[in-house]
Structure 1
Amino acid sequence: MIHAESEQACPAVPLPASMSAVLAGYEWARDAIGESGGAVYRLHGKARAPDLYLKHGKDAVADDITDEMARLGWLAGHIPVPAVAHFVRTPGQAWLLMTAVHGRTAYQVLKSSPDAHPAVVDALAAFLRRLHAIPVGECPFNSDHAFRLARARTRIDAGLVDVDDFDEERDGWTAEQVWEALQRLLPFTPDPVVTHGDFSLDNLLIHQGEVAGCIDVGRVGIADRYQDIAILWNCLGEFGPSLQRRFLLQYGIADLDQRKLQFHLMLDELF
């Protein structure tokens, strides 16, 4: 679930008492890229014990981790996701311990195996169709664009948007410029489905040619389907327009809605 090249070995961190015994004997590695103020650890190397992943965060990050815990429990009845092994929440902190999903990220597979590109894209499209086919009436979580715009406005006002991480098309823009451009694309008629919210190549695990599961599900909820389509389409651009076209074809889109595509790409810049 973490790129091996981005990991750094680290000592065990202080844990709630209920987790300490469970994690005794594990070796620790931290995701060096980080998690927006939180931390992600891989626990490995314990004899006859599976690898585990631990997310820890404080304050607003703890709220995000709590959201992810709730969504993992619900999603487990619909698509493959990590199982929650243990969860602790205090007023200011959260710890989420999860099982590992077998496989490598879709990004790793595409980067290392050019011959596998068509099959990987087909598997990603099939998995997205499966996710979007979950009846919206069964989903208790809302992630529509009005909800996400409100959160984006809060992030802008708090100075939390990383403008240095904007896509090349918006290089040099301010967060306010992105916000103003978003407003010009409203209103639109949403096509609500159950969305992942960050359906990127790093959040999808491939094993034996199929999507073995998805991770980082804290944004899961009912939203316009282009929330997911736009992010995956954008990620595939690194590997050429032919893969972007193949994804749309396999998903079932004949005419790409450029208005929705641009809206969701710009909205994602603010998170």
Structure 2
Amino acid sequence: MFAFPDPVPEKSAMTPETTNSLPPSIKHFIADATLATDEVGASPCQVYQFSKGNERFFLKTSTPVYAPTTYSVLREARAIEWLTGRIKVPELVLLAENEYGEAMITRAVPARPLADRIHAGQPVTHLFQEALRQLQGLSIKDCPLHAGAAFRLKELEYLISKGLHEQEYELDQWPGVHSEQDLLRLLHASLPEEDLVFAHGDLGDSNLFVDDKDQIYFLDLGRAGLADRWMDIAFVHRNLREDVSEKVADEFIKSLPYADVPAKREFFMQLDELF
């Protein structure tokens, strides 16, 4: 039986000084609960977990410099609101902002990360396939969120201009690419014609949670929105290749109901390198 995520040791708890920067409604909800840092993920957002009664919650915050990006907590909250009732996502409990940034509280989902099954050597391809089926099967006619290639490339330019991009990267894997500006030029020159669907934007085994009945919950939805269908596929392929095997990753691509487009998969891996 799956359970809520285990509590993080209190030694990593949020400091009183940091707590004081939270919007009043957020502080009121947390009250005297201990905020413990959640270490999963590489986002610049701060994530904490805490308990109230017998329930567990997560607090996520982002600073003002990330407001125009997909790291914005308000943007993720909009995605959660739009997706609620369409697919399984965390319940948005509270959302607020002030001069220090944006903050939201979500209720913990009754499931465990898909990564747990990978670490246990269990098959996961069918769960990735089901996740894609659910995402790409959503009607997008009224979707307010755009996360396409041009949008994400503009975001990358902003992050680079502010020095907020990933500082550990491997650009030499692509011929003629040796700097951030080289990569930007390559991405501009290879922007794909998009086959738009609803995409998660960062689909991987730490952002998919699964319960004991194989029901899937989608987390970390800041990059979600209208995008090319190969964005999510590229992330799943990389996840399977790196954490399961090359063979399983290739079998996943062959199982898709449409022909592979390697150039698009490579584009989205290039685009992600500095995030």
TM-score (norm 1): 0.86
Structure-2 residue corresponding to 1:213: 217
Report SS of the residue matched to 2:141: helix
Say if 1:123 and 1:209, in contact at 8 Å, map to a contact too: no
- Equivalent position to 1:252, from 252, 257, 266: 257
Distance 1:164 1:143 in 2: 24
Unpaired runs of 5+ in structure 1? none
- Equivalent position to 1:86, from 94, 103, 117: 94
TM-score (norm 2): 0.85
Would you say how many aligned residue pairs link Structure 1 and Structure 2?
A: 263
Taking a change above 3 Å as real, the CA distance of residues 223 and 43 of structure 1, as seen in their structure-2 partners, is: same
The structural deviation recorded for 1:130 is 1.1
Moved more, 92-101 or 240-249: 240-249
Taking a change above 3 Å as real, the CA distance of residues 246 and 6 of structure 1, as seen in their structure-2 partners, is: farther
Say if 1:89 and 1:95, in contact at 8 Å, map to a contact too: yes
Taking a change above 3 Å as real, the CA distance of residues 143 and 198 of structure 1, as seen in their structure-2 partners, is: same
Structure-2 residue corresponding to 1:74: 82
- 1:224 aligned onto 2:228: yes
Taking a change above 3 Å as real, the CA distance of residues 142 and 4 of structure 1, as seen in their structure-2 partners, is: same
Report SS of the residue matched to 1:136: coil
- Equivalent position to 2:29, from 22, 27, 33: 22
Report SS of the residue matched to 1:51: strand
In the TM superposition, 1:162-201 aligns within 5 A as 162-166=166-170, 169=173, 173-186=178-191, 188-201=192-205
The structural deviation recorded for 1:168 is 8.7
The structural deviation recorded for 1:210 is 1.8
| Paired AA for residue 69 in structure 1 | A
Distance 2:125 2:207 in 1: 14
Moved more, 195-204 or 16-25: 16-25
In the TM superposition, 1:1-271 aligns within 5 A as 9-11=12-14, 13-14=19-20, 15-32=22-39, 36-44=43-51, 46-48=52-54, 50-62=55-67, 64-111=72-119, 113-114=120-121, 116-117=122-123, 120-166=124-170, 169=173, 173-186=178-191, 188-208=192-212, 210-238=214-242, 239-253=244-258, 255-271=259-275
Report SS of the residue matched to 1:54: strand
Taking a change above 3 Å as real, the CA distance of residues 90 and 25 of structure 1, as seen in their structure-2 partners, is: closer
Taking a change above 3 Å as real, the CA distance of residues 232 and 83 of structure 1, as seen in their structure-2 partners, is: same
Report SS of the residue matched to 1:81: coil
Of Structure 1 and Structure 2, which has the larger fraction of its residues in helix?
1
The structural deviation recorded for 1:161 is 2.0
Superimposed CA distance per residue, residues 127-148 of structure 1 (whole angstroms, 9 cap, x where no aligned partner): 2111111112121111111111
Distance 2:10 2:255 in 1: 34
Unpaired runs of 5+ in structure 2? none
Report SS of the residue matched to 1:89: strand
